[in-house]
Structure formats: C-alpha cells, structure tokens
Amino acid sequence: MYTFSNKLMTFSIILMVLGALGVGYGFMTSHKSLDEVKTILAEEASEHGSGHAEETTHESATHDEHADEATHGESSHSTTEKAQHDDSHAEHVQKQIANRPWSALYVAAFFFMMISLGVLAFYAIQRASQAGWSPVLFRVMEGITYYVLPGALIVFAIALWAGPHLFIWMDPEVMANDEILQNKSGWLDKTWFSVRALIFIAGWSLYRYFSRKYSIAQDDASNIKNFKKNFRISAGFLVFYIYTESMMSWDWVMSVDPHWFSTLFGWYLFASMIVSGITVIALIAIYMRAKGYLEFVNDSHLHDLAKYMFGFCIFWTYLWFSQFMLIWYANIPEEVTYFVTRIEQYNFPFFGMVVLNFVFPFLILMNSDYKRVPWFIVLAGIAILVGHYIDIFVMIMPGTVGDRWYIGIPEIGSILLFAGLFIFIVFTALTKAPLLAKGNPFIKESEQFHY
Amino acid sequence: METSKVIHAIYNDDDVLMAAVKKVKAERYHIEEIYTPFHIHGLDKAMGLAPTRIAIVSFMFGCVGLIVAVVMMNYMMISDWPQDIGGKPSFSYIENMPAFVPIMFELTVFFAAHLMVITFYLRSRMWPFKKAENPDPRTTDDHFLMEIAVHGNQSELESLLKETGAVEINIVDKEAH
C-alpha cells in the first residue's frame, strides 16, 4: 500500500492555494472600463511607433471571428466613422482582456482533464489488447483516471459559467446577427451542449468505476470472471470513447472558433491526449519507483512507456502537420484564417510547440539505451507536457483573447491550481488499493517482462 | 593449402545449445561460429558478441537523405527556376517548406532503409551467387552446430562437449580463410 507522503500533500495544497490566488488576481484585474482600455491602446500606440499598424493588421485578421466586429472592418472615411471605429475597437479589446482569466482557467482545466482521459483510453487499450507488459502499471493508471470525473465536471462547469467569454455562440446577441452560426445552432445550443457533455462524462466515469471495481475484485478472486468482464467493458468503452472524444473535441475545443471546422480535429486532440497521458504514467511510475513503492516495475517497463511516448509524439506531429499542411496548401479563405491568426499572433508558441512536442523528444528518445534512463524520460516528459499545454493554449486563446495573450499570472496560476488538484486527487487515489494488481492472469508475465 | 582442425558439435535443442554455450564460455574456449536454423533469443549475449551498430548507421543515412531532399528542392524550386506555380510562395525555402515535407520525409526513410539494408548485406557478406557457407545442411532445418577450433586439446574438448549434451561430435579439416 502506498501512503501519501505529507510533503507531497503539503506541496499540492500550496500549489492549489498559490494557483487560486493567481486565478483570483486574474479575475480582479480583467475588468477594464472602456476609458481604461482606450488609455491602454493610446499608450501602446505611442510606446512603439508602429503599434497602430499592428493593431490594424490584427483587426483585419480577427474581425471575421467575431460577428459583432464584422460591421466595421472596412476603412473609415469621415471623422465620425473614425471615432465609432475607435470605440468599437476599444470594446473589442475590452472583451478580449475580460476573456483572459476565463480562457486561462479553461485551458489549464482542460489540459489536466485531458491527461487523465488519455490515461483512461490507454488503460482500456491495454485491457482490450490483453497486453502482457503493462499489468504492473494498472494501479498507477487507475489512480490517474480518478481525476476524469472531477476534472471533466470542472471543465464543463467552467464552460457553462464562462459562457460567451469562451464560446461566442453562447451569446444570444452574436447569434442573432450571425447567419453562419444560426445555421449551426442545431448543434451549437447550450442545452444540447450540456446534455452531450453529461453523456460523455457519465460514460467515461461509468467505465472507470466498473473497471476499477472489477480490477480490485480480481485481486482476491479464485477465478478470472472479473478479468473477463473488464476485458468486455474495455472493448465496449473504446468504441464509446472514440465517438465521444471526437464530439467532445468539437464541443469543448473547436467551438471556441465556431466559424471554422476541421475533420481530423478529433484525432488531433486525441493524439495530444494520449501522449500527455502516457507521459504522466511514466513520470508517476518513475517517482513512485524512486520512492520504493513499485519495485516490480523494471527498466523494460520504462523502456516500453518511453517507446509509446516517442511513437505518439510522432503521431501527434503527423496529425498537426496534416491539418496545417492541407489547409495551408489549399489556402481557402474560410478555413485558413484559423492558421493566419495563429501564425501572425502566436508565432512563437505555435511553432515552438512543434520543437517541444516533436524535435526534442524525437532526438532524445530515439536511442534505445536512453529510453531506459529515468532522467532522460523525465526530461523528454517535461518537454512533452509543456508542449501539449501550449498546444491547448494555441487552440483556445486565439478565439478568445486574440493578440492580447501572455503567459502571466492568470495562466500560471491556473496551471498551479489544477496541477495541485491533480496531484492531490491522483495520489489520494493511489493510497486506496495495493499497487500490484495481483489477481490479474498476466501479472506474472508482466513482472518478469524484459525487453 | 593450409588447413586447421575444427570441432563441430551438433545439438538438437536450442535450450541445450544455450546451456552449452554458457558452459563452453565458462571454460574459456573460443567459439568460432554457431549455425542455427532460426534466431535464438539471447544467443548473441551468451556468446558475448558486440551489439550491432546498424541502427546508428541507419540514422546517419537518414540524415543524408534529408539533406539530399532539402538541397535538391532548394535548388530546383527556389534557386534554379522559382516559378509561380498556383500561387505557392517560392521566394525562400522556408516559405514553401510545407509542400516539400512529404518528399523530405520519404527520402529520409528511403535512404535510411535502403542504405541500411545494403550495409547489412555488405557487412554480412550476402549477395546473389554467393557460395553458401554451410557446414551441415541439417543446420537449416532442425539442428544446431557449434564450431570450435582445435589447438591440440581435442580430447578435453570432446569430453566437455559430450557433457553439454551434443548429439554428434565431428572433427573437420577446414580451409583457413
């Protein structure tokens, strides 16, 4: 049995408190009056001479994302029109500034939820494929998936609570003036959004609940009935998961930019999810092994996890590039704006994450010997996690805060808050059952696994 | 032609062979060669063979392939004749790079794979019309053969190999190469 060390518990609580302070600070400083926003804009224009030119390019790039802005994208001639234009520009910027703490909170909440959901999918794959190497890691995976239910509920709650701060289609005023969104209102509807979200969360949590139950029951069982049940529900869950994950990606992430769509988006998000999930399994397994709780986990298990990290990094890059290159190549205006805003306003994070998520782990984890060295895996793992946070950041932020983004106190506060919560829940869950699933028929093979 | 004597110990089980290899190594005899009909997991470790470096070579060939792709397309599409083809920006390599990535990827894989295979053939001396170096045709079917050079210790070796479970022991004159 694992006992949650006091140090780690204090650490996670400190993270949550610091994070909550940061989030609170973010919300307190994001309410700006129109005059304040105008002062900020005037200051920015005078600070760097070319500032105003940047403002105009930014506006032409983002104006079709927000329907309320669409009426004044053209250049104005008379002074009254100019004044009106400045006013609506200031209003637009005011909204972006107000959206920032919501988006920061949402990105971090989604990121940690996504990790545990990725682990749940990976766990189901291990069960359904009857993998012989991984049963010694099942309890670690089960511990991480404890976060699925609270994490997903938090994401859903933030989505509803933030409403139009995140999803402009939740704003009735925007909906009334936007024909494109009206045509999508059969799907993009707050009630349906909630019903779907609850079905997704219920399905994932039910699988998690029963799979864990059978897994624990198998420990002292005299036959393998529970193991077989787990095999069956895992196969069923994988079918359910791949449908709901796809729809979840449209609802929770893609609808932040409701004028844009992409067919491989669900897969792309899945790749992010599974690679971060496997990375966290590896990091927690390394931590617990170093503390002496997982002496049955050997270097070959780490080697296998690192291989999965390596492989899914490449899979993520393949999907990232496929989505980008198809849209870049065809350059159809209605879909290319998605990447235009990202390349113009998020150039460094947009391309930087490809280095973190692909180039660095690719070179580090290619060597078979390095995949057995814990600190190499930790090094690659940190790059992957940072990279995938930025990945989610670049999915959400351009649609909500536009060029008003910065990784400052609200963003870091949100990360700390959810990191603390994640550590607290996951490590509490790990104390609840023995760390070796001893009734599993593959456990002997897994303990002796070597590559 | 100079000849040397070698001893051929034949086994009919891979587990027995593995145990024999360990014993012969422990007695500090040098095993010239082992002929098996299929791969025996861990035999190379038991024999103390150095790990292969073919993966490193493959990585380097992949790098060559990538460089070939980049240089080739930079020359053809950007410097030699930068035409406007359907509005693709051919002002610099980086601007048009997404369009070149499929070729960069494929050439990297092509070079890494093919040159590695050719390296493997060269290093293991395999080519068409090569004379097969097979001391006993049964080793391609269901027998395992261990070859040890004899340096005046024939009787000790024979008894050691008998002990390890060899089903047949032959002394062969072998052409030195």
Option in A325, A331, A368 nearest B101 (CB): A325
Where does A298-431 show beta strands of DSSP type E? Answer: none
> Mean pLDDT across the stretch A424-447?
93
Q: What is the mean pLDDT of chain A?
A: 91
- Is some CB atom of chain A closer than 8 A to the CB atom of B55? yes
Residues of B in contact with A366 (CB under 8 A): 59
Residue A394 CA to residue B30 CA, distance in Å, equals 62
pLDDT category at B172 given cuts 50, 70, 90 is confident
> Mean pLDDT across the stretch A152-158?
97
Where does A181-276 show beta strands of DSSP type E? Answer: none
Supply the pLDDT for residue A73. Answer: 44
Cβ contact, residue pair B87, A368, below 8 Å: no
pLDDT category at A45 given cuts 50, 70, 90 is confident
Question: Best mutation site among A317, A325, A359, A363 for testing chain B: the one with the most B CBs within 10 Å?
Answer: A325
Option in A324, A366, A368 nearest B98 (CB): A324
- Nearest in space to A103 (alpha carbons), one of A436, A413, A450: A413
- Is some CB atom of chain B closer than 8 A to the CB atom of A358? no
User: Is the model's pLDDT at A61 over the cut of 70?
Assistant: no
Question: Which is more confidently placed, A450 or A357?
Answer: A357
Gyration radius (Cα) of chain A, Å: 23
Option in A325, A366, A368 nearest B98 (CB): A325
Nearest CA in chain A to B105: A318
- Is some CB atom of chain B closer than 8 A to the CB atom of A202? no
Residue B145's contacts (CB-CB under 8 Å, 6 or more residues apart) are: B8, B9, B10, B11, B34, B35, B36, B135, B136, B139
* pTM for the structure as a whole: 0.91
pLDDT category at A76 given cuts 50, 70, 90 is very low
pLDDT category at B177 given cuts 50, 70, 90 is low
Residues of B in contact with A324 (CB under 8 A): 98
User: Exposed (0-12), middle (13-18) or buried (19+): which is A393, by Cβ within 10 Å?
Assistant: buried
Residues of A in contact with B87 (CB under 8 A): 331
**Which uninterrupted H or E stretch holds B175?**
strand B168-175
Q: What is the pLDDT of residues A274-284, one digit of tens each?
A: 999 999 999 99
User: Is the model's pLDDT at A449 over the cut of 50?
Assistant: yes
Residue A313's contacts (CB-CB under 8 Å, 6 or more residues apart) are: A275, A357, A358, A361, A362, A365, A384
User: Is the model's pLDDT at A34 over the cut of 90?
Assistant: no
User: Is the model's pLDDT at B164 over the cut of 60?
Assistant: yes
How many angstroms separate the CA of residue A329 from the nearest CA in chain B? 7
Q: Is A262 helix (H, G, I), strand (E, B) or coil?
A: coil
Q: Is A387 helix (H, G, I), strand (E, B) or coil?
A: helix
How many angstroms separate the CA of residue A364 from the nearest CA in chain B? 13
Residue A216: both structure tokens together:
């624990």
Share of chain A above pLDDT 70, in %: 93
pLDDT category at B156 given cuts 50, 70, 90 is confident
- Nearest in space to A282 (alpha carbons), one of A164, A405, A115: A115
For residues A204 and A148, the answer to whether their CB atoms sit within 8 Å is: yes
Supply the pLDDT for residue A57. Answer: 46
> Which range (A83-97, A337-351, A403-417, B9-23) has the least confidence?
A83-97
Which amino acid appears at position B20 of this protein? Answer: A
> Mean pLDDT across the stretch A116-139?
96
> Mean pLDDT across the stretch A35-45?
87
Residue B148: both structure tokens together:
């040890």
Which amino acid appears at position A182 of this protein? Answer: Q
Q: Is B35 helix (H, G, I), strand (E, B) or coil?
A: strand
From chain B residues 86-145, the ones with a CB under 8 A of any chain A CB are 87, 98-99, 101
Supply the pLDDT for residue A32. Answer: 84
How many angstroms separate the CA of residue A11 from the nearest CA in chain B? 43
Supply the pLDDT for residue A258. Answer: 93
Torsion sign across C-alpha atoms A74, A76, A81, A86? positive
Q: What is the pLDDT of residues B70-104, one digit of tens each?
A: 999 999 999 999 999 999 999 999 999 999 999 99
> Mean pLDDT across the stretch A360-377?
94
Where does B12-167 show beta strands of DSSP type E? Answer: 31-35, 144-149
Q: What is the pLDDT of residues A255-304, one digit of tens each?
A: 999 999 999 999 999 999 999 999 999 999 999 999 999 989 999 999 99
> Mean pLDDT across the stretch A99-106?
95
Supply the pLDDT for residue A86. Answer: 79
The DSSP secondary-structure symbol of A129 reads: T
Gyration radius (Cα) of chain B, Å: 26
Cβ contact, residue pair B98, A328, below 8 Å: yes
For residues A5 and A423, the answer to whether their CB atoms sit within 8 Å is: no
N-terminal to C-terminal alpha carbon distance within chain B: 10
**What single string gives the DSSP state of each residue in B113-152?**
HHHHHHHHHHHTT--TTPPP--S-GGGGTT-EEEEEE-SS
Output the CA–CA distances (angstroms, integers) from residue A448 to A66, A308, A377, B177, in the order listed.
Answer: 58, 20, 22, 43
> Mean pLDDT across the stretch B13-36?
92
**Which uninterrupted H or E stretch holds B112?**
helix B97-123
Supply the pLDDT for residue A44. Answer: 85
